[in-house]
Amino acid sequence: MRFRTAGVAVLVATALVGAGVAGAGGSAQTPRVTIDGASTGPFSALVRFTVDQSARVVIEYGAGPETQVWTKQISVRPGVRAQVRLTALEPSRAYRFRIVATAGKQRGAAQGSLTTPAMPTSVRGRTMPQALVVNGQRFFPRMVWHQCPYAYATSIAAGINTFMGTGCVTPQTQLTTLAGRALSIIDVAKRGVSGPGLVGWHHLDEADEHVGGPAGIPQLPSSRDTGRVTFLTLTNHFYSGASPLPHGRDMYPGLIDRTEVVGFDLYPLQVWCRKNRFHDVFESQRELVALAEGKPTFQWIEAGPMNQCFGLDPSPAIVRAETWLAIAGGARGIGFFPDQWRPDVHAEVKRLSTEIASLSAALLGDEGKATVSSPSPIRVGVRRWNGATYVIAVNPTFARVGAKIAVDGLGTAGLRVYGTGRWVTARNGVLNDRFRGLEVRVYVAPPPGTS
């Protein structure tokens, strides 16, 4: 059966989990879930449903093959239409969802799918702690820099949703060309421009290398007043693992104070020419998060040759490892530079985009804490969202290594390795695993009572 609400088709397939058990004292029946429809916007969807008995209900959803983000659990009365909002969605993307109702020891479920409409032409941006917000919903930008229009379609096909700067055309032409397809961030010097998809302004690229201090970049009104967010990209020289610029590191708090979203570029392979420094992607991100004091941060990931380090072109595995190292370190946005990629890297960017879009509600959630027992090189970050725990673990080396990861507050729990169907068990908050070179694993512990 199909429902159509606001032009969106929702395919409903009901699946029951568990069986009714009758006893002398009565019977326990599996709750039946009926999906009554869905209303979708570009960044969220409202799913409506009923159950045939009192139950606790949660919806799990995602853009990939697995639905590994959960809504808050609610109590639902029999026959009363309920509704739950799926948040942090992206425009023009298909999502699957599963409504799970639990009554006593019995569990019933109904599955559906929906597709969000295109990017709206009118957008307003602002920030909240650790997240960019677009039209009221948290949003995880995946960006390219100064791209020319002939490459727009290729980038959009790879999941790029935000274009920072303009290349080859005027800002107005970019806004018009990308209308309904992606967001744009335009040079602050062009802030008289307005048009479809304009979410904010970017300051001078790598401003720390070109200005003597904060006075070198303008202080703009807050996005809460204007609907336009300010972005700043720094060099890596704020980082303790890089050499400082001649005017030192004292300027960075002041520079960050002039922007609402701050990022940087590191490029260990293409700038440092070092194959043994991928761990710096994680450490530098952690240091920027600390400097930013709650402002959302991002990192540019090397995705192609920059003609500085011969024979060290980034492979798909390197792009993947660096992207997840940055996210584990606290990045709430990712950029890929240069903006055009060989086919295998393009395929990896598309894969990463699907994973990030699927998990973005969680990746933009609260940070948790984890430690890795020495001497393992594994770098780990933790997110928590609606009772679920997400452990992002990355091997930044080419060697096969093991890791003993202790996650604060996890206890004894089963965790699914995202995208593999494999489960591991953490005992007293500690999980043990082994990693191939540059391997990424995202472990997901479902909210209690949902697995």
* Cβ–Cβ < 8 Å for 340, 354: no
pLDDT > 80? residue 422: yes
Q: Residue type for 331, please? A: A
Residue 73: which pLDDT band, with cuts at 50, 70 and 90?
very high
Residue 99: which pLDDT band, with cuts at 50, 70 and 90?
very high
Q: How many CB atoms lie within 10 A of CB 450?
A: 16
Q: State how far the Cα of 406 lies from the Cα of 404, in Å rounded to an integer.
A: 7
pLDDT > 70? residue 308: yes
Span 247-271, pLDDT tens digits: 899 999 999 999 999 999 999 999 9
Q: State how far the Cα of 156 lies from the Cα of 178, in Å rounded to an integer.
A: 10
Residue 311: which pLDDT band, with cuts at 50, 70 and 90?
confident
Q: State how far the Cα of 182 lies from the Cα of 29, in Å rounded to an integer.
A: 47
Q: Residue 307: what pLDDT?
A: 83
Span 182-217, pLDDT tens digits: 999 999 999 999 999 999 999 999 999 999 889 999
Question: What pTM, to 2 d.p., does this model score?
Answer: 0.94
| β-sheet bridge partners, residue 382 | 368, 391
Q: What is the set of domains in the chain, with CATH numbers?
A: 2-115 (2.60.40.10), 125-364 (3.20.20.80), 368-445 (2.60.40.1180)
> What percent of the chain shows pLDDT beyond 70?
94
pLDDT > 60? residue 3: no
Q: Going edge to edge, which strands form the sheet with 131-134?
A: 125-128, 131-134, 137-139
Q: Residue 7: what pLDDT?
A: 39
pLDDT > 80? residue 384: yes
Backbone angles phi, psi at 117, to 5 degrees: -75, 175
* Cβ–Cβ < 8 Å for 433, 391: no
Averaged pLDDT, 308-327: 95
Residue 28: which pLDDT band, with cuts at 50, 70 and 90?
low
Residue 365: which pLDDT band, with cuts at 50, 70 and 90?
very high
> What percent of the chain shows pLDDT beyond 90?
90
Averaged pLDDT, 328-350: 98
pLDDT > 50? residue 19: no
Please, what is the average pLDDT of the chain?
93
Helix (H, G, I), strand (E, B) or coil at 442: strand
